[in-house]
A and B are shown apart, each in its own frame.
Chain A
Amino acid sequence: AQKITQTQPGMFVQEKEAVTLDCTYDTSDQSYGLFWYKQPSSGEMIFLIYQGSYDEQNATEGRYSLNFQKARKSANLVISASQLGDSAMYFCAMREVRNFNKFYFGSGTKLNVKP
């Protein structure tokens, strides 16, 4: 079974609008971390935001927030006030602490911000 599922291969959003990128995960580990990374066309991987499995509040980092619904095993990334520079590939990832700290990545969502 897929550990991380991102069901949106590509999305468009109008500049200045908010957008939600979906991510669901599968784990039996009680202790895990969820991460979002951004990969611009230049190729580097940029860490955006983290949510721990025991965190009760949703994580926020500037214009990024994580809508964490533990019972549904979802960790959607919300980008508010989209900017042209947000056009990139976005990856959801999970780290399972007890499973030897293995990392799993989703297949990614390509976001295009339209002017």
Chain B
Amino acid sequence: EAQVTQNPRYLITVTGKKLTVTCSQNMNHEYMSWYRQDPGLGLRQIYYSMNVEVTDKGDVPEGYKVSRKEKRNFPLILESPSPNQTSLYFCASSPLDGYSNQPQHFGDGTRLSIL
């Protein structure tokens, strides 16, 4: 089954304790992206990647890191989490064909609480 898998689904942690949210897709998609969703703000892009070793900042990259060492994986790293990073996070992937018509496939989301 074609899917984007995020782990963990839920995490409660404390300020300053490094954490990683994993994302893996099995569709051989070139494009992968991370979003955070906050009430009233919709989804905002954190980082995206157009292929292995190619990553770029979205609209809200501060406090986050990513890596793309393999095509299927795109982990999100919070080196020193703070309470303002409490949010619902989505990973998404899509093919990249030079056109604009490819929708993104989303993971089920990770609800992150930073105390």
Contact = CB atoms under 8 A, between A and B. Distances in A.
B90 to A, nearest CB: 6
Given A106-B42, A107-B41, A101 B101 contact: no
Contact of A105 (B42, B98, B103, B108): B42
Contact of A45 (B41, B44, B59, B90): B90
A6 B108 CA distance: 24
Interface range on chain A: under 10, 10 to 19, 20 to 34, or 35 or more? 20 to 34
Q: How many of chain B's residues touch chain A, expressed as a range?
A: 20 to 34
B35 interface: yes
A44 B37 CA distance: 12
A104 B102 CA distance: 14
B98 to A, nearest CB: 7
A19 to B, nearest CB: 19
Contacts of A50: 101, 103
Given A91-B43, A103-B33, A104-B45, A43 B108 contact: yes
B42 A91 contact: yes
Contacts of B50: 100-101
A100 B56 contact: yes
A44 B109 contact: yes
Interface in B25-84: 31, 33, 35, 40-45, 48, 50, 56, 58-59
B43 A52 contact: no
Contacts of A101: 31, 48, 50, 96
B3 to A, nearest CB: 11
Interface of A: 4, 6, 9, 31-33, 35, 37, 43-45, 47, 50, 52-53, 91, 93, 95-97, 100-108
10 contacts: A31-B99, A31-B100, A32-B100, A43-B88, A45-B106, A52-B99, A102-B48, A102-B58, A103-B45, A104-B45
Given A6-B42, A52-B101, 17 more contacts: A9-B40, A43-B88, A43-B109, A45-B106, A47-B105, A50-B101, A52-B99, A91-B43, A93-B43, A96-B100, A101-B48, A104-B59, A105-B43, A105-B44, A107-B40, A107-B41, A107-B42
